């Protein structure tokens, strides 16, 4: 049981190996998403997981 309901605004990063990960709608496990912060619009919320992953990789993978 999750706290998510159909129509909830959520964001996350689906694995690129999953079909449809760049689609407007995608099926993902509840553990891969979180409620979208109200301070972000859909466009910025959609970009946030990828941007933070890129920053994390630069700091912890490449800079080691």
**Cβ count near 30 (within 10 Å):** 12
Reading the block at residue 62, the tokens are: 């490449």
- Asked if pLDDT for residue 10 goes beyond 80, the answer is yes
Q: Could you tell me if residue 46 is inside a domain?
A: yes
Q: Could you tell me if residue 1 is inside a domain?
A: no
Number of domains forming the structure of the chain: 1
19-63 pLDDT, tens digit each:
555 667 777 788 888 999 999 999 999 888 888 888 988 999 888
Cβ burial of 52 (10 Å; 0-12, 13-18, 19+) is exposed
Q: Could you tell me if residue 40 is inside a domain?
A: yes
Structural domain harbouring 41: 10-62
**pLDDT score of 18:** 62
């Amino acid at each position: 049981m999750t706290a998510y309901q159909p129509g909830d605004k959520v964001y996350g990063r689906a694995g690129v190996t999953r079909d449809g990960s760049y689609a407007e709608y995608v099926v993902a496990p509840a553990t891969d998403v979180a409620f979208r912060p109200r301070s972000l619009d859909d466009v910025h919320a959609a970009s946030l997981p990828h941007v933070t992953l890129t920053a994390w990789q630069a700091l912890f993978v490449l800079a080691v």
